[in-house]
Amino acid sequence: MPVRVAFMQLSSCWGCHQSLLNAHLGLLPILPELEIVYWPAVVDFKHESLVARPDGDIVVGFIEGVARTKQDTENVKLMRKKCKVIVAIGACACYGSVKGLANLYDKEELINRKFKETESITDDDPKEPTEHVPGIEEFIVNVKDIIDVEMFIPGCPPTTDNIIAAISYLLTLVGEGPDSLKKNSTICETCNLLKKGCLLDQNILCYGSITAAGCEEMCPNNGELCYGCFRPTAKPHEKSKQLKDILDNVLALTPEQGASLQHFLDLYLGASNITNFYFRGDLIQRLGYEPESFATKEVNGRLILDVAPTGNAIMDEIVGRAMHLLKDDPSFKFSSKTVCSHCERDVADKVPTELKRDYEGLPTMDKCFLEQGYICLGPVTQAGCGTICPNKANAPCLGCYGPPVGVKDQGAKFISALGSLCANREPEEVMKLIKDPAGLFNRFTLAESTLGHKFHDKMEGE
């Protein structure tokens, strides 16, 4: 069964669509899997057909672009109503991209330059267009601050591979699973160890009691524990109480238990090892990115995170407890890599020998840009792009994949990194190089940043 999808384009450049279409022949296996019900860039369905659909009728809705106009904002809300899963695709929808730089100015300044002051305008008294146009928002507010977003695919644009990987992954999530899957049964029911000596009896974490049956290579029958890769069952085995007891009695995780829980949650909740996009609906990723976004509740005197991925009380409590334990566990690391960690250039200490503007000289292909004196945002940028700019194009990283996990403000992080790299220099010399910190360090994330721009000033003033 093809999955019903919609693509919404807000104010944007079409580049994310082009990046997807760049798959060219690679599109052929994917297209039959999709029932496209709205995609103005490619197909002819009109806006009213989207409005007419029942709420929640569309499985996956992709949103591209920024909410620059009032119509954009309405379309964001419309997509949330019509789609079960919302994917923010591209730097614009994730964190504003370069269009967020407009937040450095008041709306009047933007409008005056474009519609009144431009040198080529010939009207005596030019005015902002108002007829049959939607109106301009005061500032760019990121999509995730207008509605809940489940998944983020960063990049300006995301690479073709990233988009195809994300779509394929989503299709597996909403698909029906293998033919052998038995949702109404559990691993325990066909497990040899149940009689020979259950791992849970030895206080070892095994997740078969809450996992659907149907796997052909039974791990427990080969002496391995079950990590739950066949995902939640509809009917947990009575052994699940024992699993819950073990977790309830843990005060601090051992390193083995921590690793076990993380591996289990990765498989059980359908998480993947793909780190070049953020799927908020993937609870383990969300635990890494935004641990404080979960509510905590108390069940039987034990604290658990309030999550409901399975819809079954005991299984949700087990997952919630596991996540609570992992949340404060020092061995739980959901770290993402930076562009630097994938870059092929030779690097010693990243300390610049001199500072240069980008038009000066010509960098060599083999040595770290920072060491050659050029500003490069690799250290504060999420990996996943394939390090094209530094390694294929001899151009420093501009930061288009946004900040890595745990970094709130890409620009602030870079300033602090540059400060320590230039500790042996006069501040004046460094400042001479960076006359435009917002444009250099927050080029793609200004709409996300709190670095004193007008949107936030206004918000705080209210």
Based on the shown chain and the rule CB under 8 A, indicate whether residue 172 belongs to the binding site for another protein: no
Decide whether 357 or 367 has the Cβ nearer to another protein: 357
Which residues neighbour 256 within 8 Å (Cβ) at sequence distance 6 or greater? none
Decide whether 198 or 377 has the Cβ nearer to another protein: 377
Based on the shown chain and the rule CB under 8 A, indicate whether residue 19 belongs to the binding site for another protein: yes
Based on the shown chain and the rule CB under 8 A, indicate whether residue 392 belongs to the binding site for another protein: yes
Closest to 64 (Cα-Cα) out of 193, 2, 169, 156: 156
Decide whether 333 or 392 has the Cβ nearer to another protein: 392
Based on the shown chain and the rule CB under 8 A, indicate whether residue 71 belongs to the binding site for another protein: yes
Sole residue written with tokens 């400060």:
419
Q: Do the beta carbons of residue 190 and residue 220 sit within 8 Å? A: no
Q: Do the beta carbons of residue 97 and residue 398 sit within 8 Å? A: no
Listed ranges 55-63, 109-117, 144-152, 165-173: which one lies at the site for another protein (CB under 8 A): 109-117
Listed ranges 95-103, 238-246, 308-316, 413-421: which one lies at the site for another protein (CB under 8 A): 95-103
Based on the shown chain and the rule CB under 8 A, indicate whether residue 388 belongs to the binding site for another protein: yes
Based on the shown chain and the rule CB under 8 A, indicate whether residue 124 belongs to the binding site for another protein: no
Beta carbons within 10 angstroms of residue 179's beta carbon:
6
Q: Do the beta carbons of residue 101 and residue 438 sit within 8 Å? A: yes
Closest to 174 (Cα-Cα) out of 150, 152, 158, 198: 150
Which residues does residue 305 pair with via DSSP β-bridges, in sequence order? 296
- Residue 257, Cα to own-chain centre: how many angstroms? 27
Based on the shown chain and the rule CB under 8 A, indicate whether residue 114 belongs to the binding site for another protein: yes
Give the Cα separation of 10 and 2 in Å (integer): 25
Based on the shown chain and the rule CB under 8 A, indicate whether residue 43 belongs to the binding site for another protein: yes
Q: How far is CA 349 from CA 173, 300, 375, 379, 396, in A?
A: 42, 52, 15, 12, 17
Based on the shown chain and the rule CB under 8 A, indicate whether residue 9 belongs to the binding site for another protein: yes
Listed ranges 18-26, 78-86, 209-217, 327-335: which one lies at the site for another protein (CB under 8 A): 18-26
Judged by CB under 8 A, the number of residues near another protein is 85
The binding track of 411-450 with respect to another protein, each residue x by CB under 8 A or -, is ------------------------xx-xxx--x-------
Closest distance between another protein and the C-beta of residue 120, in Å? 4
Based on the shown chain and the rule CB under 8 A, indicate whether residue 451 belongs to the binding site for another protein: no
